[in-house]
Every structure is written in structure tokens, then in C-alpha cells.
């Protein structure tokens, strides 16, 4: 009799245990912890903590305060090669070429100072040039085009490097053991987490929103310290449907 009763309870007990295991895993996951830490720090305006775990903000005076949240889905992680070393080399090469160009431009400028003064004055006064001055004007126009193109190349290389290394540096940052990510190869891992959040708006209203939080983590190798595994950091927060 008792045996049959216990046997009938087993499916229910198994279901409860399964739910407990799932809940325990969600509560102890690195993703769950970094989200809680981030929203707590945002609520308390703890900028020091936020600077160590996120590259984006969720400002109470603008977005509101996340009072609670639950994880809906965690997407499959994506892995892309870390390109900091490659992009750093491209940036250094662009700077070198720009310096060489500037040297040639300055040499031309020094050799044609008087003519360039007349060219610039004519452009200000909107007057026509002839002879040697006209030729210098045409040459100087090409120099200015090349100067703009060279500066753009350096700027784009710097921007690409900055974007790539910001996430990696944030993920592996340690004041005790600084890491120069430009000396490493490796991968950047990312994943999207969809959450339901209960938010207190700046207008003092309670609303429910579904947010997609993107997190990244760097795994470095091939550098002075060997393998360096970074922590998860938050890089993007968007409302679904926006």
C-alpha cells in the first residue's frame, strides 16, 4: 500500500527536483550574476563598479531602475577571432605612412611658400591665377586631397583598433596584473540574453519590459602571460522591438 503511494509521487518529486536544479543553475550562472551586479550598481549609481563590468550605461534618470528581472532565453554563444594585434599593426602602419606623407608635404610647402601665400590669398579673394601660381594651386589641391585621405585612414584604423581592444581590455582588466591585449591572439566570445525586467521609470511608474543584453568575454593566448581568460562584461542593452 505504502509502496504504491510512494511510487505515485515519484514523477511529481522528479519534476520538482528538475525545476530546482534549473533554478539553481540560473541563479548561479556567471551571466545571471553579472546582470544582477550591473543593475544593482546602476540603481546605486556605483560608477566604479559599472566601469569594471560594462561599456554601456542604464541611467536611472533616463532609462529608470530595474527592480527585478528574470532570464527568458540565453542564445548560443558566438566566437570570433581577437584582432587587436592585427589592427594595432594596421594602425601603426597607417601612422607611419601619414608621417612620411606629412614630411613630403612639408618639404613641398617649404619650397613654395611665397607661391602658396599667393594661392591662399587668391582663394580667399576668389581671384583667378595664371602661370606658375596656377600650377602650384593645382598641385596644392592634390596635396590637400591626399592629406585628408591619409588622415581618414589613420582615424579609421584607430577607431577599429579602439573598438576591438575596448571589450578585450575591459574583460581581462586587473589592476594587480595589467594585460596588454595587443600582445595576444585569442577569441572574443559573445552571447545575447533576453530578460523580462520590472522597471521603475523616471516618471515613477512601474513597467514591464523585455530587454536583450549582449555580453562579451575575451580568451587570450600567445602572449607574455600565456592563457588569460576574461570575465563577462555587458556591451549592449536594447529593448525588444525597438
Strand partners, 65: 200
Q: Where are the domains of the chain?
A: 2-82+184-239, 84-165
The predicted structure's pLDDT at residue 29: 64
Task: Give the single-character DSSP code of 182.
Answer: G
The predicted structure's pLDDT at residue 242: 60
Q: Is the pLDDT at 6 greater than 60, yes or no? A: no
> Would you mind telling me the total number of residues written for the chain in this entry?
242
Instruction: End-to-end CA distance of the chain: give it in Å, rounded.
Output: 59
Nearest one of 128, 222, 216, 125 to 173, comparing CA atoms: 216
CATH number belonging to the domain at 2-82+184-239, selected among 3.10.450, 3.30.1490, 3.40.720, 3.30.365: 3.10.450
Q: What is the average pLDDT across 33-50?
A: 94
The answer to whether the CB of 66 falls within 8 A of the CB of 199 is: yes
pLDDT digits (tens, 9 = 90+) for 94-109: 999 999 999 999 999 9
Confidence at 27, pLDDT banded by 50, 70, 90: very low
The predicted structure's pLDDT at residue 177: 87
The predicted structure's pLDDT at residue 225: 85
Residue partners of 75: CB distance under 8 A and separation at least 6: 191, 192, 193, 194
Q: What is the average pLDDT across 4-28?
A: 39
The predicted structure's pLDDT at residue 207: 96
Within its chain, how far is the Cα of 213 from the centroid? Answer: 13
Which cell is 193 given? 540574453
What's the mean pLDDT when you consider all of the chain? 87
The predicted structure's pLDDT at residue 31: 80
pLDDT digits (tens, 9 = 90+) for 106-131: 999 999 999 999 999 999 999 999 99
Q: What is the average pLDDT across 216-235?
A: 92
pLDDT digits (tens, 9 = 90+) for 177-223: 899 998 999 999 999 999 999 999 999 999 999 999 999 999 999 88
- By the 10 Å C-beta count (0-12 exposed, 13-18 middle, 19+ buried), 69 is classed as buried
Single pTM value for the model: 0.68
Helix and strand numbers (H, E) in the chain are 6, 6
The answer to whether the CB of 180 falls within 8 A of the CB of 196 is: no
Higher pLDDT, 15 or 138: 138
Amino acid at each position: 500500500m505504502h509502496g504504491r503511494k510512494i511510487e505515485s509521487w515519484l514523477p511529481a518529486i522528479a519534476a520538482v527536483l528538475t525545476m530546482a536544479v534549473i533554478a539553481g543553475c540560473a541563479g548561479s550562472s556567471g551571466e545571471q550574476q553579472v546582470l544582477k551586479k550591473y543593475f544593482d550598481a546602476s540603481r546605486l549609481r556605483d560608477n566604479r563598479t559599472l566601469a569594471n563590468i560594462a561599456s554601456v550605461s542604464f541611467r536611472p534618470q533616463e532609462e529608470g531602475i530595474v527592480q527585478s528581472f528574470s532570464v527568458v532565453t540565453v542564445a548560443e554563444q558566438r566566437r570570433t577571432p581577437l584582432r587587436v594585434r592585427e589592427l594595432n599593426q594596421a594602425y601603426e602602419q597607417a601612422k607611419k605612412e601619414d608621417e612620411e606623407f606629412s614630411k613630403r608635404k612639408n618639404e613641398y610647402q617649404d619650397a613654395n611658400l611665397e607661391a602658396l601665400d599667393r594661392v591662399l590669398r587668391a582663394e580667399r579673394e576668389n581671384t583667378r591665377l595664371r602661370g606658375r601660381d596656377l600650377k602650384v594651386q593645382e598641385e596644392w589641391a592634390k596635396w590637400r586631397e591626399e592629406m585628408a585621405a591619409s588622415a581618414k585612414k589613420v582615424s579609421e584604423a584607430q577607431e577599429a583598433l579602439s573598438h576591438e581592444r575596448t571589450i578585450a581590455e575591459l574583460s581581462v582588466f586587473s589592476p594587480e596584473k595589467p594585460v596588454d591585449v595587443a600582445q595576444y591572439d585569442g577569441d572574443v566570445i559573445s552571447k545575447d540574453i533576453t530578460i523580462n525586467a520590472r522597471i521603475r521609470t523616471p516618471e515613477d511608474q512601474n513597467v514591464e519590459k523585455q530587454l536583450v543584453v549582449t555580453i562579451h568575454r575575451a580568451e587570450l593566448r600567445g602572449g607574455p602571460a600565456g592563457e588569460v581568460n576574461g570575465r563577462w562584461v555587458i556591451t549592449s542593452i536594447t529593448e525588444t522591438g525597438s
